[in-house]
Structure formats: structure tokens, C-alpha cells
Amino acid sequence: MLDWSGIFHILATPFRADGSLDVEGLPHLVESVLGTGVSGLTVLGIAGEAHRLTDEERRAVVSAVVKEVRGRVPVVAGVSAPGTHLAVALARMAAEHGAAALMVAPPGGVRNLDAVAEHYRAVAAAVGLPLVVQDEPVTTQVTMPAPFLARLADEIPAVEALKLEEAPTLPKISRLRALPGRRVAIFGGLGGVYFYEELARGADGAMTGFPYPEALRAIRDDFVAGRRDEARARFYRWLPLIRYESQPGAVPGTSLAIRKEVLRLRGWLRTACVRPPAAGLDPATLEELGEVLAAVTGG
């Protein structure tokens, strides 16, 4: 079993100014993220604009990231798809190119939870890799209650982690931790907006693309070491940027454009390009972002 704890950073997908995939920029992005001490990398998530990539681009991203990581941390590949056969095909591709685990959301719009469970069983049976169940009902329109998630963990040994993004996440973490059955890791998402409280409720870490992963790692390090006051203070320091980045709306939209602009300012991406129909940032947002960054980083 993988060490499912700490910060698993969801990698942005770099594009050139013309919107084409910047494969050559992936190694620098990977090294920049690894330099912050994260526990793992996740590729082809919603925030990685996976749904805007061709099959060949998905393959190129997984291959390039796994090659650059060289086994230093686990690489989790998103293989969510609207149909089971497609998810299985994506899972096999990710396994073929060296992914250590798979992140899977339920097929969009499915109301029959037994069918959702069969979807996860099929993906698990197709490849011998651990699964992260992504609970993100805003995008998928599928609500998975805590008892159902616990059922998946009990019935499918490959399920080793849950990524909870059904707001409010905090009561759901408490419900899951109170249920009997096999204990699996729980990760918060949502850009880290409830990260400190999620840790206090029993989360093992965060799986998010927040552009300062070292801040999330330091918050968790303090928390795990019993320095809760320090962890809380550190979280509150970064909360203005977490809040500003986590603007609601279509994904990818303003939130992802803000994230990519921060990554560009950090020198991790060559451009902040997001693929259409998502748009770049207007001048007022860029100005506000600069003010927020100056306030939280002291720069």
C-alpha cells in the first residue's frame, strides 16, 4: 500500500501561448513542485484540464511526468470518464506508462449507486493499481453519501483513498471516521479552503493544486507534530490567497486561470494559458491578485 498522507499536488497542465501542449515544460514544473517536499503528484485531474486534452496528450502527460519523477514520489493519474469502457482504457494507458495509482470520479449524472459501484469494480479489476475515489458532485452531479463511500472501501480492496470535495466536507469526514469498516486515507480538495479543519476532523492530507504546496505541507507538518496553534496561524496567513483562488464557477474558469498565473509568476509555468472556452484574467483581477500575493508572501 502506498503512503497516503501529506500533500499530493495536482499538477496543472502547461500550454504554450497558442494553446498547444507544452510537453517540454513539464519537467521544470515537476521539479519545482517536488522541491517543495510534496508526498505525491496527481496528473489529469479536473484542475489539470484533462477533459480538454486529446487521448495522445493525456498519454504524453503521464509518460513525461512519470519519467521525470523517477520514482521519487507516487504519481496518481486521473482516469475519470463518462463511461466504464473509456475509464478502463484510460486506466490501462496510465498503468502502461508507469502511474502508481488512479484517481476516479463516478460517471457523470449516474443516479444508481449500484451502477457507480460496478464502475469502480470494473476499473479496479482492469489494472492492479490502487484507486483514489474522487467525490466531486459539482462536476459529476453524482452524490455519494458517506456510507456508500465506506461500502466501496470495504468491497473493493483497491480503494485506498478518498478525495472529498462535497461541501461541506467537514461533517462528511466525521461521518466516515465514525463508520465501522476498513480505514482508508481521506484527502481534502477544494483548493485547501478548509484544510486546517479537515485535518482536525481526521483527514490525512490534501490533494489539490494550490500553487504554494510548501505552505500546505508546513501546515500539516505543524499539525502532525502537535503544534496546532502554529498550524492554524499558518493556515490563516495563506487563507486570503486560498479564498481568492477558489472563486466559484465553471471549472476550469477564473479559479484555474488565477492558479496558472501564480505558477507563471513563480517561474513554474512559461505561460498562464488555459484552454478555451475558459478565458484568461481581466486587468482588475490581475491587479487584485498582485495585492493578495503581496499581502500573504510579503513580496
- Judged against a pLDDT cut of 70, whether residue 87 lies above it is answered with yes
In the prediction, which pLDDT does 182 show?
94
Rg (CA), the chain: 18
Sorted by where each starts, the structural domains of the chain and their CATH numbers stand as: 6-235 (3.20.20.70)
In the prediction, which pLDDT does 254 show?
79
Q: Please tell me whether residue 2 adopts helix, strand or coil conformation.
A: coil
For residues 57 and 44, is the Cβ–Cβ distance under 8 A?
no
Q: What is the mean pLDDT of residues 244-260?
A: 79
pLDDT for 51-72, tens place per residue? 999 999 999 999 999 999 999 9
134 forms beta bridges with 163
Contacts of 164 (CB under 8 A, 6+ apart): 135, 172, 173, 176, 186, 187, 188, 189, 198, 203
Average pLDDT, the chain: 95
For residues 258 and 244, is the Cβ–Cβ distance under 8 A?
yes
Burial of 245 (0-12, 13-18, 19+ CB in 10 A): buried
How far apart are alpha carbons 75 and 68 in whole angstroms?
11
Q: How far is CA 50 from CA 77, 150, 236, 292, in A?
A: 10, 27, 31, 28
Question: Hunting for cell 502547461 — which residue is that?
Answer: 14
- Judged against a pLDDT cut of 70, whether residue 253 lies above it is answered with no
pLDDT for 112-127, tens place per residue? 999 999 999 999 999 9
For residues 187 and 164, is the Cβ–Cβ distance under 8 A?
yes
Q: Which long-range contacts (CB under 8 A, 24 or more apart) does 33-37 make?
A: 33/9, 33/213, 33/268, 34/69, 34/72, 34/73, 36/9, 36/212, 36/213, 36/214, 36/217, 37/214, 37/217
185 forms beta bridges with 161
What's the N-to-C CA distance of the chain in angstroms? 41
3-state secondary structure 183-217: CCEEEECHHHCCHHHHHHHCCCEEEECCCCHHHHH
Local confidence band at 278 (pLDDT 50, 70, 90 cut-offs) = confident
Q: Quick check: pTM over 0.85?
A: yes
In the prediction, which pLDDT does 249 show?
63
Contacts of 281 (CB under 8 A, 6+ apart): 254, 257, 258, 261, 272, 289
Q: What is the mean pLDDT of residues 247-255?
A: 66
How far apart are alpha carbons 131 and 117 in whole angstroms?
13
In the prediction, which pLDDT does 252 show?
47
